[in-house]
Amino acid sequence: MELSRRTVIAGAAAAGITAGLTGGTAHATAGGRPVKSLFGKLADGTKVYRWSLENGGTRLKVLSYGGIVQSLEIPDRRGRHANVSLGFDNLDDYVASSPYFGALIGRYGNRIGQGRFTLDGTAYQLSVNDGEQSLHGGAQGFDKHVWDVEPFTDGSDVGLHLYYTSVDGEMGYPGTLRTKVTYTLTRHGDWRIDYEATTDKPTVVNLTSHVYFNLAGESSGTIYDHELSIDASRYTPVDAGLIPTGELARVAGTPFDFRRAKAVGRDIRVAHPQLLYGKGLDHNWALDKGITRRPESVATLRDPSSGRTMRIATTEPGLQFYSGNFLDGSLVGTGGTVYRQGDGLCLETQHFPDSPNKPHFPSTVLRPGQTYRTTTVHSFSA
Ligand code: BGC
């Protein structure tokens, strides 16, 4: 296990980065080395780069800021590519007002009730940034940091290693957490994410990716006609603060039953109390397969109009399905249109929300000497 950052400069030199450092239009060749271009600068002058990768028909653009997937292009049934991930065309909007578009989420994806937990008898208070709760790692989560990025090619795979070290106490979390996330595009066009982390003190960790998908193309309207299946007979109901009550409720006979593919919008207006809390679907499904050694298929999303289909396989026990309920028409996306409620949806593979306070949920505790490892694979077809 090598989490120590190898020299990024060497990686960059190996990638032959000489061109495209000033423009935003650098293109990668299929199966070729990732290409780097300048995307913008933070207020303190730090440069943020965008890496372009292509393999097996999938095109991915990733920012060093937040490890953000700024664009994900896949073909439809006629071979026409569209960007199927919501985002912005400029850095300032990501910094000012992004609802986690495309970002890597840490240290803890999802909510921890009142930002509090106790581990080995010590109480910790985290950064609270969502009403009374801590959401997606707190006010300055992993989505708001610049990661060190190292491109690679490996056989027929191309990809990026992303590194971020979170210091002991950052956002209230104990332990120095060294994180490595690898984005790989395979020759089949699959997008694979491998997460790794180590700590020097007992801590909790739950990393995920926050891409908002719209398989008809971002800025094409809502995802309510997308058909979704989730291999889960139970989900974790929440309270008004979107914190799990601790119950593992059956989906049978409820709007949460996606065991057979159904349109996302079909039951979204059912007057179920759980749908009122999140203004729609915004829940964690307890996947039937639980924690697995290898990524197992857990969900399929299909847009009937384009034929684009995405299958998700993961080692994780949970899936947060968020139907873009809080998009409110106040943001202008990459394609120049306004994003409104339901214009994209997130499928965040993860451990369950508030696990540090729910001893009967799968544990999110990481101890010195252990390595956190999870994998999620997105496979595309049309
Ligand atoms: C959560 C939503 C939250 C959103 C923020 C999702 O992961 O489930 O409740 O509003 O992130 O963009």
The confidence score (pLDDT) of residue 29 equals 85
For residue 8, pLDDT over 70 is answered with no
Task: Provide residues with CB under 6 Å of ligand 1.
Answer: 99-100, 242, 282, 320, 322, 326, 346, 348
For residue 362, pLDDT over 70 is answered with yes
The confidence score (pLDDT) of residue 9 equals 30
pLDDT above 70 as % of the chain: 93
CA angle 171, 176, 178 (to 5 degrees): 105
What tens digit of pLDDT does each residue of 304-330 get?
999 999 999 999 999 999 999 999 999
For 371, how many CA atoms within 13 A lie in the half-sphere containing its CB?
Answer: 11
Q: Which atom of ligand 1 is nearest to the CA of 320?
A: 8
User: What is the Å distance from ligand 1's center to 99 Cα?
Assistant: 8
Other Cβ atoms closer than 10 A to 186 = 19
For residue 7, pLDDT over 90 is answered with no
Report yes or no on whether pTM surpasses 0.85: yes
For residue 13, pLDDT over 90 is answered with no
Interval 86-108 mean pLDDT: 98
The confidence score (pLDDT) of residue 30 equals 83
The confidence score (pLDDT) of residue 18 equals 29
Q: Is the sign of the CA dihedral 349, 207, 235, 249 positive or negative?
A: positive
The confidence score (pLDDT) of residue 21 equals 37
What strands, in cross-sheet order, belong to the sheet with 309-314? 148-154, 157-166, 177-185, 191-199, 372-381, 309-314, 296-302, 227-230, 262-263
| Inter-residue contact 320 to 350 (CB < 8 Å) | yes
Interval 175-182 mean pLDDT: 98
User: What is the Å distance from ligand 1's center to 15 Cα?
Assistant: 35
Question: Pairing relation of β-strands 365-366 and 331-332?
Answer: unpaired
The residues near 138 (Cβ < 8 Å, ≥ 6 apart) are: 115, 126, 127, 128, 129, 171, 172
For residue 12, pLDDT over 90 is answered with no
The residues near 150 (Cβ < 8 Å, ≥ 6 apart) are: 5, 6, 8, 11, 12, 160, 161, 162, 163
Interval 4-29 mean pLDDT: 41
- Three-state DSSP class for residue 357: helix
pLDDT above 90 as % of the chain: 92
Give dist(CA 353, CA 364) in Å, integer. Answer: 10
The per-residue pLDDT of the chain, averaged, comes to 93
Q: Which atom of ligand 1 is nearest to the CA of 278?
A: 9
What tens digit of pLDDT does each residue of 110-149 get?
999 999 999 999 999 999 999 999 999 999 999 999 999 9
Q: Which atom of ligand 1 is nearest to the CA of 322?
A: 8
Tell me 251's DSSP state.
-
The residues near 359 (Cβ < 8 Å, ≥ 6 apart) are: none
Structural domains of the chain, ranges and CATH numbers in brackets: 3-381 (2.70.98.10)
Catalytic center residues:
210, 348
Interval 291-301 mean pLDDT: 98
What tens digit of pLDDT does each residue of 197-237 get?
999 999 999 999 999 999 999 999 999 999 999 999 999 99
Of 321, 326, 331, best ligand 1 pocket probe by most atoms within 8 Å of the beta carbon: 326
For residue 11, pLDDT over 50 is answered with no
User: What is the Å distance from ligand 1's center to 207 Cα?
Assistant: 14
What tens digit of pLDDT does each residue of 240-294 get?
999 999 999 999 999 999 999 999 999 999 999 999 999 999 999 999 999 999 9
The pLDDT confidence band at residue 26, using thresholds 50, 70 and 90, is: low
The confidence score (pLDDT) of residue 258 equals 98
The confidence score (pLDDT) of residue 116 equals 98
Tokens (6 digits) for 239: 């309270």
